[in-house]
A and B are shown apart, each in its own frame.
Chain A
């Protein structure tokens, strides 16, 4: 096939790639950084920055190849070859590698790089304040290689969860437009596994650990919201009407999720909080991600409304079950990701400018049967189990080799000073230490 370059589509994808990178550095870094204590904010920022560093490197070396190397049969159902495009060699020579939308392969590499980066960075929220920095660096490389690249390949790279894959033959093609399974369920389940393996922070949950800078959290959430338009509307791969549908759905679902999260906590706790608004925004963004182009406006509103309530309630699970998921990666990303992915089974449509891939069907409420719902449950369940089990194994190996946690002394006196030799804020009289006893 001979494609011609489409400069409009290409420009949109380059811009999307840039603003999705912004979602990790600085948006997610500050969203998380504001939620931790003042003595560990630098470590949180650093976990996000270094994830961009390591994942960016391996993506260019072999990550793109393992995800989009073009093998779809045999072992290619699960993962691709790291050697097909090692170092991106060969991607520029072959005209046929221009996508059907007229976007050069190297631009697709750039856009997809930012997805790998943020998925790994998301996990850091579950394990705040206590993981060894070297262990985290090793984890980012191993996890993205053994979990993210295969998962992205299975769903988007021609594997058994994607278009024309085995699940598509058995049921219908699972719909994951922009990463509900690949990014959010994947990161959420990984966060749960690591939080369980690492154990609770000293004092949690009896002595409270308060967010040290809510303005950072609000700022981070707002930048995430902006960047997410690149994430979801950019996932169309072109500047067209479907991208517009994805943009609108991303927008309205997020608006509604913020409102329903705030209503939930106003009724339950008595206050509409800034942390609740920031969290509701992210919950809505997460839940609409897999459905971004595959529902109409009412579907998007329903997904946002349900996600806002579901995630506001789900962040309490860690107290019930006793796992210290510090910044609610499970409550927001795992639960939000599952919510969005499963609701597609009820709400999917290809009317009103919405779109779903070949082999997918409309949802239960939109004239389809239960087939799409079953397909969505299969892909969501697979993502949960695959990510949790793989992450748990990786964590056990790292625990045996390097150990996972910093010493209790370093954790209490502040991981910033112990690990990075820095503190974020000037303290003349030690008053910050006193307030953090709270």
Chain B
């Protein structure tokens, strides 16, 4: 079985998370720019005296496919590398993946990771 570990983190933690995952043996990941908010809500910006509340703040989303038994470890690696202790650090979650295939070779399951 395969698991999908998804993390939404502060953009400035991306480099550290990437290095930590690489050190932990993760060989591939997908990063996308995302917008959203959690408990921190957004922030305000002032243009010519007019205050604008920006609800959706920039985040980075990382998707990693891992073998079942590595899911917890990878989650911990992400938490450790992304954590600043301040509100807005993000979330990590794990979901089961029914199947995964490598496009180049057609391999399925954990062989495709």
Question: Are B35 and A265 neighbours in the complex by a CB distance under 8 Å?
Answer: no
Inter-subunit contact A315/B49 (CB<8 Å): yes
Cα–Cα, bound, A315→B48 (Å):
7
Instruction: Let me know if B49 and A312 touch, CB within 8 A.
Output: yes
Give the CA-CA distance A273 to B50 in the complex, in Å.
12
B53 to chain A, nearest CB (A): 7
Contact A438 B49 (CB under 8 A): no
CB-defined interface of A248-280 with B at 8 Å, one 1/0 digit per residue? 000000000000000001001111010110010
Interface residue count on the B side (C-beta < 8 Å): 14
- Using Cβ atoms and an 8 Å threshold, which residues of chain B touch A276? 48
Interface flag for A3 (CB, 8 Å): no
Residues of A within 8 A of B98 (CB): none
Are the C-beta atoms of A435 and B49 separated by less than 8 Å? no
B-chain residues with CB within 8 Å of residue A275 when the two chains form the complex: 47-48
Q: Check if A271 sits within 8 Å of B50, measured CB to CB.
A: no
Interface residues on A, range: 20 to 34
Q: Are B56 and A435 in contact (CB under 8 A)?
A: yes
Q: Which residues of the other chain, B, contact A279 by a CB distance below 8 angstroms?
A: 48
Chain B nearest CB, measured from A38 CB (Å): 15
A319 touches B46 (CB 8 A): no
B69 touches A (CB below 8 Å): no
- A435 with B35: in contact, given A210-B45, A269-B46, A273-B47 (CB under 8 Å)? yes
Alpha-carbon distance A331/B51, docked complex (angstroms): 17
Chain B nearest CB from A326 CB (Å) reads 11
Q: Quick one: CB contact mask for B37-77 with A, threshold 8 Å, 1 for yes?
A: 00000000111111111111000000000000000000000
Fill in one digit per residue for B18-32: 1 if any A CB lies within 8 Å of its CB, else 0: 000000000000000
In whole angstroms, what is the CA distance A277 to B81 when docked? 39
The verdict on A205 contacting chain B, using a C-beta distance below 8 Å, is: yes
Give bound CA distance, A316 to B47, whole Å.
11
The residue in B35, B47, B48, B52 that gathers the most chain A C-beta atoms within 10 A of its C-beta is B48
Q: Does A434 contact B (CB under 8 A)?
A: yes
Q: Are A273 and B46 in contact (CB under 8 A)?
A: yes
Residues of A within 8 A of B46 (CB): 265, 269-271, 273
Question: Are A319 and B56 interface neighbours, CB within 8 A?
Answer: no
Contact between B47 and A438, CB atoms less than 8 A apart:
no
Cross-chain contact B48 with A208 (CB below 8 angstroms):
no
A411 within 8 A of B: no
Residue A328 CB within 8 A of the other chain: yes
**Residue among B49, B53, B54 with the most chain A CB within 10 A?**
B49
A269 & B56 in contact (Cβ 8 Å cutoff) = no
Interface centre among B45, B47, B54 (most CB of A within 10 A): B47
> How far apart are the CA atoms of A437 and B48 in the complex, in Å?
20
**Cα of A315 to Cα of B53 in the assembled complex, Å:** 19
Question: Given A431-B33, A434-B35, are A316 and B45 neighbors across the interface (CB < 8 Å)?
Answer: no
- Interface residue A56 (Cβ < 8 Å from any Cβ of B): no
B47-A211 in contact (CB<8A): yes
Q: Are A438 and B52 in contact (CB-based, < 8 A)?
A: yes
Min CB distance B32 to A, Å, is: 8
Which of A210, A265, A434 is within 8 Å of B49, CB to CB? A265
| Cα–Cα, bound, A205→B50 (Å) | 9
Given contacts A431-B33, A434-B35, A435-B35, contact A269 B49 (CB under 8 A): yes
Interface contact B33-A316, CB-CB below 8 Å? no
Q: 1/0 contact trace for A193-237 toward B, CB 8 Å?
A: 000000000000100101100000000000000000000000000
The 23 sampled A-B contact pairs (Cβ below 8 Å) are A208-B52, A208-B53, A208-B54, A210-B45, A265-B46, A268-B49, A269-B46, A269-B51, A270-B46, A273-B47, A275-B47, A279-B48, A312-B49, A315-B48, A315-B49, A316-B50, A331-B48, A431-B33, A434-B35, A435-B56, A437-B56, A438-B54, A438-B56
Interface residues of B (CB under 8 A from A): 33, 35, 45-56
